[in-house]
Structures are given as structure tokens and as C-alpha cells.
Amino acid sequence: MLVKDKVIVVTGGGNGMGREMVLLLLSKGASVAAVDMNKAYLDETVKLAGDLASRLSTHVLNITDQEAVAALPEKIIARHGQVDGLINNAGIIQPFVKLNELQYDAIERVMNVNFFGALYMVKAFLPHFLLRPTAHIANISSMGGFLPVPGQTVYGASKAAVKLMTEGLYAELLSTNVRLTVVYPGAIGTNISANSGLKIDPEMAEKNNFKMLAPKEAARIIIDAIEKDRYNVMVGSDSKMMDFMYRLSPKMATGLIHRQMKSLLDN
């Protein structure tokens, strides 16, 4: 779906990859409804949009609030006149600890934001998309959604759920006007750790060779995939490499990622 003259909703639109997608969509002629919990982040996105901000609306919202999400489509339609697309980008990671040490409140928070938040958004907007000439849903999964990452087991489970929800919905909607893309980012240089309430030692990250893709480049890859109606897209060389390795030998790929993450878990 070409985004020009379309109205696209972007969750997590206040910073990082979400903000870059908002700005890129605006530059391509789309109107955008940016959703985020943090008003200050959204205000900064508006400021960065400059003269294009006339086509941007902001919505302070917790996507885990089912009732608030259900009321969102009508607010966006009232502002923009229509709604044509959704990018479920908002997400958090878990503390870098093994499952045995992970507290239930952290488990529930990750699942609520990453899976149920995305599910609530899809359920709220899909009836409206089915009435449009064309519409698109892009759900951001993760490299961790197809590859087990020690210390991020529940995060991976939440993103694997996003993956299968998107693929199942794709199959259900094949005879409709709604297209879907599932996105698998690798390491992206965003504030996801800080926004998840975590502190990660930069020296330790460098030691583990966590090379980050710039959010602006990640946004370009994702919007390009939406415009080409791609079924899925790997974002970053690490995601592409690990997808290849996991298909070749899941056990070998799991061993490799274990060795890569071992020092983080041992500290």
C-alpha cells in the first residue's frame, strides 16, 4: 500500500524507530496519528515534523488499556477523516535475567505491552480497515521472536506471539483488501532499554558486539516493506544472518546466541 494520502497510526511514535517512521511517513505525503504514553516525547516528534506537523496528530495512550484503545479509531477518524494503516511498534524488553529469576510482574508487563497491546490495536482498527479500498497492518515482532535469546525468554515469547498472530491474520484476510507485514528487527539503536526501565552497561554491550542499526534506516526498511506489501521483512544484518542460521540449524544458532549473551547473564 503506497502511503501517500493515507492515514497511518504508529504506536510508540514518540521516540526511536517509531518517531523515525512518523517523520518518514509525513515526508512521503501520509497523514499520521502518533500514539505514545509519553506526552513530552510526542511533543518533540511534533517539533521535529516542522511544517509537516499539520498532517500529524498525537494521542497520549497506554495501549494495554483495552477501553482506551477501543475508543481511539473514532478519535483519529474525527481528526483525519479516515484511517488506512497501523504500525504496531510500541514494545518493551524484560530485565536481562534468566526465566527462573524473572518476577511475575515483569512477565505480565512484557506480555501486556508487546502482545496484548498489539492485539487490542488490531481488534480496534480492523473493522475500519475492512471498509477501506486498501489498508495495511504492520506488526513489529523481533529477531527474538524466531530465535531464542537467553535472558530475553519472555520478551521472545511475546514477540513470537505477535509473529503468529500476524501470520494467522494474514491468512484470514487473504480475500480482503487488508494486507499484513510482520517485521523482525535485530539490534536497533533506540531507547527501548531505558523505556523498559532497564540500565545496560554500554561497555558490556560493546564487548558482546551488539552493533546497532540506526533507527532512521530501520524506519526506511519498514516503510518500504509496507509500500511493497511484503509478507515479512528482516531489519538489520544481524536479523538476516540469524534467520539464515536458524533455518539452517536451530540448535547451532541457539548455541551461538548463548555464547554471545553469556557474559551479560553472568554479570
Please, what are the domains in the chain? 7-265 (3.40.50.720)
Q: Which residue matches cell numbers 524466531?
A: 146
Q: Give me the torsion for CA of 41, 42, 46, 52, rounded to 10°.
A: 130
Contacts of 235 (CB under 8 A, 6+ apart): 183, 184, 185, 186, 188, 213, 218, 221, 222
At 230, the pLDDT band (50, 70, 90 cuts) reads very high
Q: How far apart (Å, rounded) are the C-alpha atoms in residues 114 and 1?
A: 25
Q: Check residues 18 and 267 and name the one with the higher pLDDT.
A: 18
CB 1 within 8 Å of CB 227: yes
The confidence score (pLDDT) of residue 191 equals 61
Of 81-95, 195-209, 246-260, the range with the highest mean pLDDT is 81-95
Instruction: Decide if pLDDT at 194 tops 90.
Output: no
What is the Cα–Cα distance from 189 to 239, expressed in whole angstroms? 14
Terminal CA-to-CA distance of the chain, rounded, Å?
46
Are 10 and 57 spatial neighbours (Cβ–Cβ below 8 Å)? no
3-state helix, strand, coil in the chain (%, to 5): 55, 15, 30
Residue 122 has pLDDT above 90, yes or no: yes
Q: For residue 102, what are the contacts with CB-CB under 8 A and spacing of at least 6?
A: 94, 95, 153, 154
pLDDT of residue 203: 46
pLDDT value of position 192: 54
Is residue 110's pLDDT more than 90? Answer: yes
Residue tagged 524506519 (cell numbers): 219
Percent of the chain with pLDDT over 90: 87
Residue range 64-68: average pLDDT?
A: 98
Rounded Cα gap, residues 158 and 160, in angstroms: 5
- How confident is the model at residue 264, as a pLDDT? 72
**Phi then psi for 261, rounded to 5 degrees?**
-95, -10
The catalytic residues are 155
Cβ atoms of 250 and 148 within 8 Å: the answer is no
Q: Where are the alpha helices (DSSP H) in 152-207?
A: 153-172, 192-195, 202-207
Radius of gyration from C-alpha coordinates of the chain: 18
Phi, psi of 44 (to 5 degrees): -70, -35
